[in-house]
Chain A
């Protein structure tokens, strides 16, 4: 069965700092990759997704992620974070064309003013 690892459990940054959150998955076949965000007290919302083509994908609110197949990674980046980016971020994998997602354990990001 596939698994997803998010090694940073808690990240604290100052506003305007750059962000990179790690995501690694274990599955040797075709994957679709997602980053979801959960703002405090809210439900999960899709930030961005990768299905095929350009491995650098851009999402909402200035976020981007790069799929590196050789490293089984899909790291999330943002050049300059804002206080409003404080949230929990989840990486998810859909493997082998199925409809189930496997989620990582999440990374809690706190952005300080």
Chain B
């Protein structure tokens, strides 16, 4: 059974804190993605990676950064959390590298609240 696991289901952080959202996949996938999901706005791509140490900006990268030191792990970093980053964050993975026409597998999501 394929698995994409996000480290936290719910997270509450204070404004200005540095926040790490972790995602691990066990499918040996090259591609990994971070989205945020907001009602009425759908899924918006923050960052993606098609290989270790490679990263590409998505549609809304401002206020975020990512880290891909190992193939199975893709971290989303909020350098200084703000209330407008309160959202559901979804991680996904797919394969092969740099091809996007294959099925993406999603994690269960992390609901982040910034107070």
B is a partner of A: no
